[in-house]
Chain A
Amino acid sequence: MPDSDIVILGTGIHPFGRFDKTPEDLGVHAARQALGEAGLEWSDIQAAYLTRMYLPATSGARILRRLGSSDISIVDIEAACASGGAGLRQAVLAIRSGEVDTALVLGVEKMPRGFMDPSMIYADWQVRMGLSMNPAYWSMRARRHMHEFGTTEEQIARVAWKNHRNSVENPNAMYRKAFTMEQILASKPVCDPIRLLEICAPNDGAAAVVVTTARRARQLGGEPVAIEACAHTVARYSADFRCPADSMSATISNPGPTRVTSQKAYEQAGCGPDDIDCFEVQDTDAFCEIEICEQLGLCERGEGGPMAEEGHTEIGGRCPVNMSGGLISKGEPVGASHLGQVVEIVSQLRGRSGARQVEGARVGLAHVLGAGGNCAVTILAA
């Protein structure tokens, strides 16, 4: 793996959950923590990116002015569930350009309970006809996979079982409650075959990283973690039928966004899935994690179900996935979710994850995927 010139020097997180706090409260908490860990002041930051989907325009400026006056570039970035990755990529590019050497990326979200507001991504006619429920799209992918590969409801439930169990040790997760396989399989179907204990909930949270050059990090000291890759893409035509798709080609099948984005990231990092010790991936629903493992190349197509069932994705398994508990147990504050994954990977690579530590983890990958086929993959190395 080539030496990366850009590193994460500080991370911060406000726990994911539901709080009687403003976006400013959440964001300032995470940003201050990240600056503190990096040993820097707000005045040391030369560019800032606020990643969010549900907050209003200019949220970055509104939140970050609580840290003090500045005249730097502050930009809001939105790319659905991949917003955090798209923002981190902008920070990397700004530093690589030489214009700045230290940047802050802050993800903040505060979302209403229940199903997400469909008018943000669906056309009016889809809403009128009842085609505007996000979990329906995840469930249709699961149903097709079960048909093609024999994936079972037990294998899907096993992913939820693992992630809920992992979250018990994560103080930043929302639920932190282990469930038995029986409890998961007995929970109510939301959109068949996906059940209530197998999907994530929209919620509130914030996560932040301070990004700088390896050279500046050496001057400052601390515990830098290298950004080996940070890629973001939007799916090609008919590569995906994730929401809000109203149709798909039956003749063209382009590679899906996770495969395309992870290939870019593997090329940037000069490594492959076998070189990576731990993974945080999009698990908006338990089936999604199975499919993502296949598309990241952790197993062959169709083998994601057995891989989960045999325990290979558990902490201590061949390729641990969602050590943090994943979005299923943390909840998904959309604009903050990828940076939350990055915070977890950094903690793993520093060997500071306590009971959920992957022994000897040196390289980690974070992956998000959402509406419109927005996908981001970040690879970090100790």
Chain B
Amino acid sequence: MGDETAAGKLLPVNEGLVTGTDNEPRDVQLLGSKCDRCGEVSLGANAVCLNCGSDRITGIRLAPEGELWTYTVIRHRPPGGYLGPDPFEPFAIGLVELPDGIRVMAPLAGDVDSFEIGCRLRLEPWILQSRDGPAYRAFRFAAVAG
């Protein structure tokens, strides 16, 4: 699980969710949708506003830095096709509040005991390699240095 894969194609972990290319996996940013009618920002490229239902949407890139709003530590391997470290290592996930007015659910990189509500976090790329299939360009948040 390196920062970059030397060979093979990097698929976005979900269409319309993250930017970046095979050549520049470090360029991961989160895509969002801003409603032209009510102004609400939602996660990903959405055809309609999740708040008011309008289809007048402007695609945006969400801010890469925010504050932790709540979090937990996952102590057991999640069910299904989780592509994180094998053997499993406990990890934190949380809701990160971005200045765009949205809180995004994301894995948190780093020591599971190092987080507290309000701490500053920054988006980083997270490359997930499936066992026999493709590698994915995903994302997580990590503590802002200093």
Is the Cβ of A248 less than 8 Å from the Cβ of B102? yes
Contact of A128 among B42, B43, B74, B83 (CB under 8 A): B83
**Complex contacts, A129 vs chain B, CB 8 Å:** 13, 82-84, 106-107, 126, 128, 138, 140
* Known pairs A246-B104, A247-B42, A249-B102; A132 contacts B95 (CB<8 A): no
Distance in Å from the Cβ of B69 to the closest Cβ of chain A? 7
Is the Cβ of A249 less than 8 Å from the Cβ of B13? no
Is the Cβ of B72 less than 8 Å from the Cβ of A115? no
Interface centre among B41, B75, B78, B106 (most CB of A within 10 A): B78
* Known pairs A143-B71, A237-B51, A252-B40; A128 contacts B136 (CB<8 A): yes
What number of residue pairs across chains A and B have CB atoms under 8 A from each other?
Answer: 134
Is the Cβ of B79 less than 8 Å from the Cβ of A125? no
Is the Cβ of A130 less than 8 Å from the Cβ of B93? yes
Interface centre among B43, B69, B74, B136 (most CB of A within 10 A): B74
1/0 contact string of B78-97 vs chain A (CB within 8 Å): 11111110000001011101
Distance in Å from the Cβ of B74 to the closest Cβ of chain A? 6
Is the Cβ of B93 less than 8 Å from the Cβ of A136? yes
Q: Of residues 186 to 201 in A, which have CB atoms within 8 Å of B's CB atoms?
A: 188-194
Stretch at the interface among A32-40, A76-84, A116-124, A331-339: A116-124
How far is B74's CA from A189's CA once the two chains are assembled, in angstroms? 9
Distance in Å from the Cβ of A9 to the closest Cβ of chain B? 41
Is the Cβ of B117 less than 8 Å from the Cβ of A130? no
Query: Residue B142 at the A interface, CB < 8 A?
Result: no
How far is B13's CA from A133's CA once the two chains are assembled, in angstroms? 18
1/0 contact string of A224-260 vs chain B (CB within 8 Å): 0000000000000110010001111111100000000
Q: Of residues 34 to 85 in B, which have CB atoms within 8 Å of A's CB atoms?
A: 40-44, 50-51, 69-76, 78-84
Distance in Å from the Cβ of A185 to the closest Cβ of chain B? 16
**Complex contacts, B17 vs chain A, CB 8 Å:** 125
**Complex contacts, B44 vs chain A, CB 8 Å:** 246
**Complex contacts, B107 vs chain A, CB 8 Å:** 129-131
> How many chain B residues have a CB neighbour from A under 8 Å?
45
Query: Residue B114 at the A interface, CB < 8 A?
Result: no
Is the Cβ of A190 less than 8 Å from the Cβ of B13? no
* Known pairs A125-B17, A127-B78; A247 contacts B128 (CB<8 A): no
Query: Residue A147 at the B interface, CB < 8 A?
Result: yes
Distance in Å from the Cβ of B125 to the closest Cβ of chain A? 12
- Smallest Cβ-Cβ distance to A245: which chain B residue: B105
* Known pairs A246-B104, A248-B102; A128 contacts B81 (CB<8 A): yes
Is the Cβ of B78 less than 8 Å from the Cβ of A241? no
Query: Residue B110 at the A interface, CB < 8 A?
Result: no
Contact of A250 among B79, B91, B102 (CB under 8 A): B102
Is the Cβ of A141 less than 8 Å from the Cβ of B75? no
Distance in Å from the Cβ of B51 to the closest Cβ of chain A? 5
**Complex contacts, A188 vs chain B, CB 8 Å:** 75
- Smallest Cβ-Cβ distance to B116: which chain A residue: A147
How far is B77's CA from A115's CA once the two chains are assembled, in angstroms? 10
- Smallest Cβ-Cβ distance to A123: which chain B residue: B14
Query: Residue A68 at the B interface, CB < 8 A?
Result: no
Is the Cβ of A127 less than 8 Å from the Cβ of B14? no
Which residues from chain A sit less than 8 Å from chain B, CB to CB? 114-119, 122-125, 127-133, 136, 139-141, 143-144, 147, 188-194, 237-238, 241, 245-252
Return 11 A-B CB contacts under 8 Å, by A number.
A117-B80, A118-B80, A127-B78, A129-B126, A130-B82, A131-B105, A189-B73, A192-B72, A192-B75, A237-B51, A241-B103
